[in-house]
């Protein structure tokens, strides 16, 4: 009874989300409660399950809220703008340099983990340059999207936060072993950018096209100055840089809980950049949508995860599926799902992938002795790498709109590159022991 109800509940949630009948918040909040009551659990027992689930996801939800608010303030104050403009100047209007710098700028821009902000910063800045160099905007979309996907594994990124909440571990614990994977991902993307850039340069030479800049003058392509940005000579600008470096140092050393680091860091950043309380409130409101939207989904998912575990549904479903799987396959199921992470990410929304599919894979794999962290990392790598080609990710439509291309063209151009890089990164993660092996 419990196992059957669990399968019906999970399939129902996935269908309702994919068919857009319910938002994830509504589906995660209502369907599990109804299933728990139908299974015969009292409201008090169901409330206990929910409490346990919320306790498990609260640190990760807190991290996401405060990290997004923090990086939103740093972005508004222009902390990364001087570095981005420096890199654009270094392109000198040469396709090879432009392609390589596209990867670097997208990686820097995505340090806040917000896809929409990354696309808004990079695509309008580089599109005129690509057009002048007769480079396809599909190359721009491909490089920006895949670079963002590799960087998206940071602990305050949406996928890592979701995976950490489902796995019941700290987001930084999931991320630290993935740093070498991200490093390899960036090397692969720089190689891909070099391939695209060399190909474009040869094409331009064959057709008599010159460089975009006038004698290396790239001033027309620099980021426009932000009204809210601090000049690089202002002491507050360097104070922001130092504060960010301290938070990242804490992240690597584990000296303080990461969510607490961003809570304190946000307080310092607000006081440092906006001394007046009215300005602080206005700045928080500016970035509240980005921060709260995912946190609400994550807290609602705590209801689902708590009921899955507390009611015994998760354990029952895992046992039933293990009986159906070939002998020995349970221990490699997370690797199989990770291998198909890019195409699965195109079918499942991130919420359905991490909060509906992952709990089942987690329980099957952990029952075979696979560490839960390995399961989460394996499922993270492919889904992250290909997030920019997923039709169920809203920011993808922003990206293709900014670049002026059709979704079909973008998928056709980028899919195999995304999946190939995802598979290489998964294999590398296995070799270094991050996902088992």
The encoded tokens of residue 308 equal 């899955």
The encoded tokens of residue 36 equal 């728990």
What residue has token string 């991320």? 175
- CA distances to 98, 101, 352 from 126, in Å: 8, 10, 33
How high is the mean pLDDT in each 10-residue block of the chain (437 residues)?
84 82 87 91 93 86 84 84 79 85 90 80 83 88 94 88 89 91 96 93 72 60 77 90 89 79 93 92 86 82 86 80 74 90 83 86 88 93 87 81 86 93 95 84
Q: What is the pLDDT of residue 63?
A: 81
The answer to whether 56 and 306 are in contact (CB under 8 A) is: yes
Which residues lie below 8 Å from residue 214, measured CB to CB, with a gap of 6+?
Answer: none
Q: What is the pLDDT of residue 48?
A: 94
Percentages helix, strand, coil for the chain, rounded to the nearest 5? Answer: 80, 0, 20
- CA distances to 8, 78, 417 from 421, in Å: 35, 31, 6
Q: How many CA atoms lie within 13 A of 121 on its CB side?
A: 31
The answer to whether 313 and 12 are in contact (CB under 8 A) is: no
Q: What is the pLDDT of residue 259?
A: 84
Q: Which candidate, 53, 18, 48, 23, places its Cα nearest to that of 301?
A: 53
Beta-bridge partners for 217: 214
Give the other-Cβ count within 10 Å of 219's Cβ: 10
The answer to whether 63 and 316 are in contact (CB under 8 A) is: no
Q: Measured between alpha carbons, how far is 191 from 189 in angstroms, rounded to an integer?
A: 5
Q: Measured between alpha carbons, how far is 165 from 173 in angstroms, rounded to an integer?
A: 12
The encoded tokens of residue 47 equal 């409330």
Q: What is the phi-psi region of residue 216: left when phi exceeds 0, alpha when psi lies from -120 to 50, beta otherwise?
A: left
Please state the φ and ψ torsions of residue 214, each to the nearest 5 degrees.
-95, 100
Q: What is the pLDDT of residue 75?
A: 82
Q: Measured between alpha carbons, how far is 297 from 236 in angstroms, rounded to an integer?
A: 35
Q: What is the pLDDT of residue 184?
A: 97
Q: What is the pLDDT of residue 208?
A: 61
């Amino acid at each position: 009874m419990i196992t059957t109800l669990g399968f019906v509940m999970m399939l129902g949630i996935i269908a309702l989300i994919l068919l857009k009948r319910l938002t994830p918040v509504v589906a995660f909040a209502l369907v599990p409660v109804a299933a728990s009551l139908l299974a015969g659990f009292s409201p008090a027992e169901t409330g206990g399950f929910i409490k346990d689930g919320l306790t498990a996801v609260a640190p990760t939800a807190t991290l996401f809220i405060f990290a997004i608010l923090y990086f939103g303030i740093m972005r508004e104050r222009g902390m990364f703008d001087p570095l981005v403009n420096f890199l654009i100047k270094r392109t000198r209007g040469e396709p090879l340099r432009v392609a390589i710098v596209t990867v670097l700028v997208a990686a820097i821009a995505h340090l806040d983990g917000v896809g929409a902000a990354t696309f808004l910063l990079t695509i309008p800045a580089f599109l005129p340059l690509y057009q002048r160099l007769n480079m396809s905007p599909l190359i721009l979309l491909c490089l920006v999207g895949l670079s963002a996907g590799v960087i998206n594994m940071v602990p305050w990124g949406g996928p890592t936060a979701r995976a950490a909440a489902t796995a019941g571990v700290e987001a930084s614990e999931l991320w630290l072993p993935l740093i070498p994977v991200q490093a390899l991902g960036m090397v692969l993307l720089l190689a891909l950018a070099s391939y695209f850039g060399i190909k474009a340069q040869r094409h331009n030479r064959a057709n008599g096209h010159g460089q975009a800049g006038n004698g290396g003058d790239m001033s027309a392509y620099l980021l426009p100055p932000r009204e809210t940005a601090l000049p690089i000579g202002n002491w507050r600008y360097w104070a922001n840089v130092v504060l960010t470096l301290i938070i990242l140092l804490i992240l690597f050393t584990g000296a303080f809980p990461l969510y607490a680091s961003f809570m304190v860091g946000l307080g310092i950043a607000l006081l440092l950049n906006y001394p007046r309380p009215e300005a602080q409130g206005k700045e928080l409101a500016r970035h509240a949508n980005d921060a709260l939207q995912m946190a609400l989904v994550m807290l609602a998912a705590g209801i689902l995860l708590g009921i899955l575990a507390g009611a015994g549904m998760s354990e029952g479903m895992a046992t039933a599926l293990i009986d159906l799987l070939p002998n020995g396959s349970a221990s490699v199921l997370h690797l199989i799902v990770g291998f198909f992470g890019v195409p699965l990410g195109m079918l499942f929304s991130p919420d359905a992938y991490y909060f509906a599919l992952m709990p089942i894979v987690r329980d099957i794999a952990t029952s075979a002795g696979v560490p839960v962290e390995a399961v989460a990392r394996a499922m993270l790598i492919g889904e992250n790498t290909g997030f920019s080609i997923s039709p169920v990710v809203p920011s993808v439509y922003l990206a293709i709109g900014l670049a002026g291309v059709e979704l079909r063209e973008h998928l056709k151009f980028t899919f195999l590159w995304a999946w190939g890089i995802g598979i290489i990164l998964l294999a590398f993660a296995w070799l270094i022991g991050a996902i088992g092996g």
